[in-house]
Amino acid sequence: MTATEQSGSGTHGGHAIVVGAGTTGLAAAAAAARHFNRVTVIDRDELPSGPQWRKGVPQSCHLHVLLRRGEEIFNELLPGLSDALIAHGAQRLDMGRDTNYFHSSGWKLRFDSGVTMMSQSKGLLEWTIRQHVLGIDAVTIRDRTSLTGLCSDGTRITGVKLGDGTELAADLVIDASGRGSRTPARLAGLGFGTVPTSELAIELSYSTRIYRRPADADDWQLLIVHPMHPDTRLGAIQAVEGDRWVVTLAGWNGAQVPADEKGFVEFARTLVSPALYEAIANAEPIDEIRRWRFPANRRRHYEKLDAMPDGLVVIGDAVNSFSPIYGQGMTQGATGARILDECLALQPRESGSVSVDGLSRRFHARYAEFAARCWSMATTDDFAAMPGAPGRPWWSSLASWYLLQVQRLTFRDPLVALRFLEVMHMLKPLSWLMTPAVVVRVLFRVLRGGWRDTAADERAASRPVALASRGR
């Protein structure tokens, strides 16, 4: 079934506006097209005509991953997306077999996990998604179109105000404008109150450079070096289309990544494993170094807004902006689109049109439940590195200790390694690492004293041992 054929379910009348043409906004547009006759996507940038990164979104040039659960949702909304990515040079990699992953104090087991992921640049991913969305009859994308405000009748949002002075009416406005969303200020200005917000400052900085992949490169498609606390310097290399490497170095909680060539290479040299530095030492850079900062994890609690108006939903980074280290961003945005689709399916139809009465509260209540799980995954490590951080839960130290033991089990145990990947890719909840099968393994190793002196031994390993075993 093509994307256009799928959009035939959007025959219930009405108009939806999506603010933002990034991956989340495009997913939201595909979801909305199932329920509205017209969907208009607006974006302030001039959208590129090919698979390039967007100059108006400078972070798009950095390493991005679409987790397996996110890929599944995108293919539900836009059938054939993964096949199109492969046709344009993306690669499907097995996260167990094709990844060299140094985590905490050792190399994770390499094995055929069955947990796969598409590997491509963010530019190719967004362009391919956009081409699929443009194939939906109900959807129109208007770039170089700025938003200056929301329209309201005092009880609900009725449309948007554009930079050219015009107003565009809509039954539903979907804010997918990203971390810089001005919806909280606009709602406050319209008398709907202040959106409660949770933040955890991490002061993350990262720098990225594109390299030509050497002809004699090792067999991995993704290399990750992630230390244990108190070290907060990490890095990754992702193989993307065009025989290129996207190399991203990151530091947080005081560890700053230089943006100059000498500093970039020296930072790589300081990582807990030399593998990344050795990979790029003789590789050819083909682009300049680009830097970005991410100050804090942030959740906006629209579900707690007493006067939340109908006619408006907010999704993706505009609600939940989590540390890029964990790669949740695009997947949590896609999940928001899926939840929106499900909530719209439950709305009554009146005179051929979908009613949005009560939709905002229903959607944000469900989205908040999902966001709480993402917040726990994203901040457990952060709280461990910052014991004095405000809002640190009482159980944080215990959770960090337990997850460290799980991480160390992933060096040798196929079952635990597989479960870690399933949680990492949001196929399973965090509790999947706390089932009796995993807890018993943790306790057994701890009681045997199996982790007393392994850190130094594991650091000495140049790369993980390739194994074909697989466990569940």
Task: Determine the 3-state secondary structure of 469 from DSSP.
Answer: coil
**Tens digit of pLDDT at every position of the chain (472 positions):** 333 333 334 445 799 999 999 999 999 999 999 999 999 999 999 999 988 877 766 667 888 899 999 999 999 999 999 999 999 999 999 999 999 999 988 999 999 999 999 999 999 999 999 999 999 999 999 999 999 999 999 999 999 999 999 999 999 999 999 999 999 999 999 999 999 999 988 888 999 999 999 999 999 999 999 988 788 899 999 999 999 999 999 998 878 898 899 999 999 999 999 999 999 999 999 999 999 888 999 999 999 999 999 999 999 999 999 888 888 999 999 999 999 999 999 998 876 788 999 999 999 999 999 999 888 888 877 776 676 677 777 777 888 889 989 999 999 999 999 999 999 999 999 999 999 999 999 999 888 875 544 544 444 444 544 444 433 4
Q: Is 179 exposed, middle or buried (0-12, 13-18, 19+ CB in 10 A)?
A: middle
CATH 3.50.50.60 domain range(s) in the chain: 3-64+121-196+301-379
pLDDT at position 11 is 44
**Homologous superfamily of domain range 3-64+121-196+301-379:** FAD/NAD(P)-binding domain (3.50.50.60)
**CA atoms of 84 and 395, how far apart (whole Å):** 44
Residue for token pair 């006759």:
37
Q: What is the DSSP annotation of 340-381?
A: HHHHHHHS-EETTEE--TTHHHHHHHHHHHHHHHHHHHHHHH
CATH 3.30.9.90 domain range(s) in the chain: 199-295
pLDDT at position 456 is 41
By 3-state DSSP, what share of the chain in percent is helix, strand and coil, each rounded to 5?
35, 25, 40
pLDDT at position 470 is 39
**CA atoms of 317 and 322, how far apart (whole Å):** 8
pLDDT at position 459 is 42
Which of the following CATH numbers is that of domain 199-295: 3.40.50.2000, 3.40.605.10, 2.60.40.1180, 3.30.9.90? 3.30.9.90
pLDDT at position 36 is 96
pLDDT at position 325 is 85
Q: Long-range contacts: 379-383, Cβ < 8 Å, 24+?
A: 379/200, 379/297, 381/229, 382/200, 382/202, 382/252, 382/253, 382/297, 382/323, 383/200
* Global pTM value: 0.91
pLDDT at position 4 is 33
